[in-house]
């Protein structure tokens, strides 16, 4: 298995633009997580899905952020409009077994 | 999730055992102890987890005290590639896997 695949690896955009981050979880995993990592706040859980259904989105910063999982093999995290403070590394992870998450390589987002 | 406390940083000589401590004095009976590590610019990587018994796998050993208030992750023969931030997490996951990462311990393995 190729592991969790995220795209793009790097994204540079201007303030106000829409940003879409993509994730393909490991086949067969029924949990999918979106985390954000910054120097100031560390790793933060934004939202997670179980069987494509959002379970807990309490970590989503504000209405500018939205996440979808239209099927078991694909998820998106969208930021609209983007702001400089959204600059961070965004990780997607998937899981089957209790507590054992597999993380992707992340998307480095820079909002200018 | 129970709060965990870890040293900010540690050094270890290559080839020696690295013993990374974690305090989780408020852990409840149904909370597991998980260890992850994050090598620079990569996503976190699962290492090991346990409930109350000691555990060992190909990467590391996990020693949990009898009262479960603390644990130690042991890398038996540290190499330069083990330089990373190590996270200890105490969490009840049930059938879910919601983990909250703290600041971790930055382990520097040196020649």
Give the DSSP per-residue string, B26-92: T--TT-EEEEEEE-TTS--EEEEEESSS-EE-SS-EEEE-TTSSEEEEEETT--GGG-EEEEEEEE-
Strands A10-13 and A107-111: parallel
Name the stretches of chain A with pLDDT < 50: none
Tens digit of pLDDT for each residue in A9-28?
Answer: 999 999 999 999 999 999 99
Select from B97, B99, B105, B106 the residue whose CB has the most chain A CBs within 10 Å, as the one to mutate to test that interface: B97
> B-chain residues within 8 Å CB-CB of A102?
46
Checking if the pLDDT of B96 tops 70, the result is no
Among chain B residues, CA nearest to A4: B43
> B-chain residues within 8 Å CB-CB of A33?
97-98
Q: Look at residue B100 in the predicted model and tell me its pLDDT.
A: 86
Confidence of residue B42 (pLDDT cuts 50, 70, 90): very high
Q: Look at residue A68 in the predicted model and tell me its pLDDT.
A: 97
The Cβ of residue A63 has, within 10 Å, a number of other Cβ atoms equal to 7
Q: Look at residue B93 in the predicted model and tell me its pLDDT.
A: 66
> A-chain residues within 8 Å CB-CB of B102?
42
Residue A42 is nearest to which of B45, B97, B101, comparing CB atoms? B101
Rg (Cα) of chain B, in Å, rounded? Answer: 13
- Mean confidence (pLDDT) of chain B: 92
């Amino acid at each position: 298995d190729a592991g969790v695949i995220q795209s793009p690896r790097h994204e540079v955009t201007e303030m106000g633009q829409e940003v879409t981050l993509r994730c393909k979880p490991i086949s067969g995993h029924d949990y999918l997580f979106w985390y954000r990592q910054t120097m100031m706040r560390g790793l933060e859980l934004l939202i997670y899905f179980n069987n494509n259904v959002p379970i807990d989105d309490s970590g989503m910063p504000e209405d500018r952020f939205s996440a979808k999982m239209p099927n078991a093999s694909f998820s998106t995290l969208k930021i609209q409009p983007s702001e400089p403070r959204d600059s961070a590394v965004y990780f997607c992870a998937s899981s089957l077994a209790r507590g054992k998450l597999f993380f992707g390589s992340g998307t480095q987002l820079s909002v200018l | 999730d129970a709060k965990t406390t870890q040293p900010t940083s540690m050094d270890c000589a290559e080839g020696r055992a690295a013993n990374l401590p974690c305090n989780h004095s408020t852990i409840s009976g149904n909370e597991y102890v998980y260890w992850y590590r994050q090598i620079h610019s990569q996503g976190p990587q699962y290492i090991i987890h346990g409930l109350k018994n000691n555990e060992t796998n190909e990467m590391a050993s996990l020693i949990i005290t009898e009262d479960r208030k603390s644990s130690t992750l042991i890398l038996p023969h540290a190499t330069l590639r083990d330089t990373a931030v190590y996270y200890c997490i105490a969490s009840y996951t049930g059938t879910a896997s919601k983990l909250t990462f703290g600041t971790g311990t930055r382990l520097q393995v040196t020649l």
